[in-house]
Chain A
């Protein structure tokens, strides 16, 4: 019986990730997180909790931050951007540049998610207040406790982006 259910769940999913189109054949409830990590080998998307508690898995869908552990890949309607697509070492996004300047990372494991969340925040609110930063960022845990540097980096990136 389970076999039948499983077969029924399989589907072909088309995804556009960082500008590249992919087609994968997966269960219709496999979270985007795991399709990106294990099927497409895009490892900048991190697994931290799997239950919307940590933000490590944050990606953009059409520029908006989404927890990839919470959305089945089959339900994605839009262009996906991961940290690898936000900016590279040669073409840093303003948030990444600020993260480097402020030496935010310790272990760094949360940082792809933090950077994606911060980039999404600044595209919606170019000059966020402390309270707006708290609202946007509080779903992203950092066990190393780098929150103060992130706050400074977000403000620096906001200034840079507005000058640009």
Chain B
């Protein structure tokens, strides 16, 4: 496997640099050097190096720049480096690194470009290049879009291989032996006579050598780690309660804060009366911040209690006050004035429908909160010389510049300490909690301020998933789906989210049609239109973003047409699908579920398919129509991911994503009354619990030539498969989420 050409083309040159007592290996940006975060304070001519491997006298550290919000990203990244470096996962430490523009995420920008993941044409590749350049410009060290694995897959393995070969060169120099005679294992170079020299011992010599660039990546057949289930690096800490999250931080002299801002999101605060709160025990200060009030106290609970005792007069929301009005806005957006994209337009839809019997349907998907179990928090200290930010975040680099702007410090004086996250699902792509903590900390110089949201504040002030509506029209003929026309209306997630981060957004927002327009089906007359509704309540990326709503719309409407045609749902999807890897996941899920086998009269099965984030994913769900309601019995999932890095972590992720998708589809929504979110806590935003949970069988296929992440693609098909299964069991078609408005679940 000669991979050198690939390496050179992508400019993955791995450099090295001396660090105190050792060496660091990392990504070398050959054009405009990005600043190296580990060389701070050292004068070195190699400031262009951004390390992935650091070996010093304290041991071997692998730097894993993508955040871990629970998906095992640290372990996966460490496995990729360790595979080539020849170290055991028990011999290394993992450090999430510090924000640096050189850890930029190229895979994410590929997903933002308006090309189908199935489209490998030259134009697509070129545009991906443009997006990559922009991403680098912004320096987005972002964890999102299921990009951790694809972004890391080559880079981290190459970094490990270069480090290994350079350490061998160091051993050759020290021992006087030919490098070809040397082997590596367990963090050491092995000499022909069996003696070993540890990497730690060799590190100072390696630092003086030119890194070996002529490396070959291991053949998959020789892998020790990739493809194996390894014990997750954080699993013991997370099973024994010693894992420390951002909300658990405790430092000398810290104070606890909480905030109240207008529940009519973005509306003004007319006045507040804190006279009762000020006298409460432990309250240190209460003052106005942007959009509301901060309470600083000596204990989190006391801060919460005091905040509850403040009386507010809030102004109106900048968006419609009542939920019906939000739906009305979407309903009025299905027209040419709001047309945002129509990149799928094959055959002649209008001609095919004229005079034909047209099947129509309308679908809805609600706003949804992220509600990770750890309420959001951030700690900030503004000292004389520097600012420290401790936060669980998916955007460390952006936080650094935001806080620098706010405080007037240079970015190199703003230190972001990434914390373990108690879930994110897109929530920690937002920076509001850090901005607020910074504002409070600026009022109290030198004091570390830990800002914690109450669950109620978090639920009611989330930048939620988009609401979306879709309208389908279709024609079937001779047992086949002949015409499929789907219009989707939603406000732009990207404009709302990136706008809040201060970046301008131009051009169509492909998230409006993601999970629908790029599906690998060949239908004679096939059109998908995205309608961009005016901005409503603030929205943000929620696990699988646009596809979380559109996967439901596209596949349920397809299912309706297939049933109208009298075809078998599996066979007709297979007939329509032209993309071989996608056909394989449909075939796999059919085989796993024994599709077509006879079922008891009160049972039903639905299949759904969605390609999102480049991952074709098919799911079959079986439900029972019990006397008390629908019971979800079993889910089968097959997905094409190119390479399963860790099968246990993969299964856990997929099962969790299905639980996530089905829980919200069953029973969760965020609604507005009088401009305020109606839901406050898990009693009215519940998701799935133990007793609801079906059996979930998972298979990862490895036929594709791209490596894809699996944080999100299992989400879009699940609600569709559930709706399709309910129809099969009961004849009732559920076109709106949450489904518990129409169906009882048991």
- Chain A positions near chain B (C-beta within 8 angstroms): 2-3, 6, 10, 27, 30-31, 33-34, 37-39, 41, 43-44, 46-51, 53-54, 56, 82-84, 86-89, 92, 96, 99-100, 103-112, 115, 133-135, 137-138, 140-151
Contacts of A138 in B (CB 8 A): 689-691
Is B375 interfacial (CB-CB < 8 Å)?
yes
Contact (Cβ within 8 A) A144 B301: no
Is B178 interfacial (CB-CB < 8 Å)?
no
Task: Tell me the smallest distance from the CB of A159 to a CB of chain B, in Å.
Answer: 18
Given A107-B423, A109-B70, 18 further pairs, Cβ under 8 A:
A46-B422, A47-B455, A49-B455, A50-B304, A53-B681, A53-B686, A56-B373, A103-B235, A104-B239, A106-B423, A107-B373, A108-B238, A109-B372, A109-B422, A143-B373, A145-B659, A146-B652, A147-B690
Contacts of B72 in A (CB 8 A): 106
- Chain B positions near chain A (C-beta within 8 angstroms): 69-72, 229, 231-232, 234-245, 247-248, 250, 256, 276, 279-281, 299-301, 304, 371-375, 420-425, 452, 454-455, 648-649, 652-653, 655-660, 663, 681-683, 686-691, 693, 695-696
10 contacts between A and B (CB under 8 A): A3-B279, A47-B455, A56-B373, A92-B239, A100-B235, A104-B239, A107-B423, A141-B373, A141-B682, A141-B686
Task: Tell me the smallest distance from the CB of B693 to a CB of chain A, in Å.
Answer: 4
Contact (Cβ within 8 A) A107 B372: yes
Contact (Cβ within 8 A) A141 B655: no
B70 in complex: contacting residue of A43, A108, A148, CB < 8 Å? A108
A106 in complex: contacting residue of B70, B455, B693, CB < 8 Å? B70
**Which residue of chain B has the shortest Cβ distance to A38 in the bound complex?**
B299
Contact (Cβ within 8 A) B659 A147: yes
B690 in complex: contacting residue of A38, A82, A134, A144, CB < 8 Å? A134
Task: Tell me the smallest distance from the CB of A142 to a CB of chain B, in Å.
Answer: 7
**Which residue of chain B has the shortest Cβ distance to A93 in the bound complex?**
B240
Please report the C-alpha to C-alpha distance between residue A48 and residue B453 in the assembled complex, in whole angstroms: 10
Please report the C-alpha to C-alpha distance between residue A98 and residue B498 in the assembled complex, in whole angstroms: 43
A41-B250, A144-B423 known; A105 vs B687 contact (CB < 8 Å):
no
Please report the C-alpha to C-alpha distance between residue A111 and residue B3 in the assembled complex, in whole angstroms: 42
**Which residue of chain A has the shortest Cβ distance to B656 in the bound complex?**
A145
A38-B256, A48-B455, A107-B70 known; A148 vs B695 contact (CB < 8 Å):
yes
Please report the C-alpha to C-alpha distance between residue A133 and residue B301 in the assembled complex, in whole angstroms: 32
Contact (Cβ within 8 A) A31 B423: no
A82-B241, A106-B652, A109-B422 known; A2 vs B276 contact (CB < 8 Å):
yes
Task: Tell me the smallest distance from the CB of B111 to a CB of chain A, in Å.
Answer: 22
Task: Tell me the smallest distance from the CB of B544 to a CB of chain A, in Å.
Answer: 14
Task: Tell me the smallest distance from the CB of A118 to a CB of chain B, in Å.
Answer: 11
Please report the C-alpha to C-alpha distance between residue A43 and residue B280 in the assembled complex, in whole angstroms: 25
Task: Tell me the smallest distance from the CB of A45 to a CB of chain B, in Å.
Answer: 8
Task: Tell me the smallest distance from the CB of A105 to a CB of chain B, in Å.
Answer: 4
B301 in complex: contacting residue of A30, A44, A54, CB < 8 Å? A30
